[in-house]
Structure 1
Amino acid sequence: MNAPVTTTGVRAEPRRPGVRRRTSPRGALAAFLRGTAGAALLTLAFEVFARLELVDPRLLPPAGVILGEALRLLVDPAFLVEVWATLVAVLGGVALAAAIAVPLGVLIGSYRLAALGLTPIIDSLRSVPGIAIIPLLVLVMGQGVSMKVTIVAFVAVWPLLFNTVYGVRGVDPVAMETARAFRVPVHRTWWRVVLPSALPLVLTGLRLALATGLTVGIAAEIAVGTRDGVGYFILRASYAGFHADTVFAAVTLAGVLGYLMNGITVALTNRLVVWDGKGPS
């Protein structure tokens, strides 16, 4: 049987079932070095632009000043407490979103009637910007952690839900027919066939949910003026004489936090779905 042809016209090597193409340590190191070189080049360009003072240095400090402040914040207990407050809200919101989205996605992906009945409601809700409901949440829940968890859950539920639905609908029909032929109970079919097959896409949805949740969580802290979190720290630094280096450093560390969360999720995916050849490596 001939190998499939890719969009570039090159014949692709067929993937054997159950065998995952893993990135070699040398390839992983090369990718890391390329990323480091790109970050260093961007930092250097930022440094040069800031040193030209085309923008007021009080508003745009050089990269060296920002990195120095970022290193200071990394060992500042007060800042680490704010990071923890944001992490609690983001992880709590994503966990709540997963508890809602995964079972609902399995239901919609498995039963056409459920999809027909729920799709109009889901399409209406997901069209609402998460930021737009923050004032309502503040009125109902106040400015505490419950508000942040709820807004993160609202924006994180959609990537988890749709990736679960697509994962369930992409289950191998032969596996499903085999389970039916052997009269495997429905709950065991979902647990042993459907969920393992959908897991790679569910974990991809988790990566998107974490990134979106972190962004919206910090934005909510800034918009509402909560009493804790990275967003509150940034807002306070902006109002207290506008310490631009502190603001840029906190934003940079928020980006690093998002990068680390993504890396942990990728590592988790590589470990949990070793049978899948299409997940991140």
Structure 2
Amino acid sequence: MNAAMTVGTVDWTHRTGGRLEPCERRRLVADLARVHVGNAVGRLSVLAHLNSGRNAYVPAARLAPPDSPLTRAAEDAATRALPPTLLNHSYRTYRFGRALGELGEVEVDAELLFAAALLHDTGLVMATGRDDFTLTSARVARDVAEQVGLSTAATETLQTAITMHHSPRVTLAAGPVAYLLSAGAGVDVAGLRCWELPSATLADAVREHPRESFKKYFALAWADEAARVPRGRARLLRRYGAFTAAISLAPFQE
């Protein structure tokens, strides 16, 4: 299936504005069901002290953001666009995604992952009209990519990671940047796969980038996005994914 037909790619999002057809919605609902089952099993493993993260270790130095023209430009754009609550979420998303990649031995372009993490939610505060917010985020990413002379292929990787990140069950087949961006955001927003991470990794990320009432802020922002794009993935997550409850039950205080 070509990129314009694959739900979540930047080509698909441009073509559809992020609006799902009934058959696409059914496939994503099935993916959501699998996510719910995996989340339940993972949370039970934590309660039983059998989760893999309890014996895992990720050196903090491996999670330090890379320094390059791309990452500096992305950080500058994110800092100008995002309120502190979302900016800190973006930093935590990178750390959690990178940590899962380290544990899973997933080779990833850390610069692209960091840029995607810092920019993935810019559209949540900037988008207008009836298109999925990630389309606005992808445009911000394109501007950053053009600013630093990023290649066409790398720009497409960056943009698709952003437009795909809130689809249920983004797999490694979508590419390591998309896979780890989605995974990192899932940890921070809903606690997905938190059981795979060392407690120190979770605690360090929150200490360095405080949540600042993130749950309340994000639940309201997501409700606004779901109302703005009634046929989009944000609405699907709220309707079929109990997303507001998932946010509130994430294993973080706020």
TM > 0.5: no
Query: What's the TM-score bracket when you normalise by the shorter of the two chains?
Result: under 0.3
Which protein has the larger Cα radius of gyration, Structure 1 or Structure 2?
A: 1
Q: TM-score, normalised by structure 2?
A: 0.25
Higher helix fraction (1 or 2): 1
Q: TM-score, normalised by structure 1?
A: 0.23
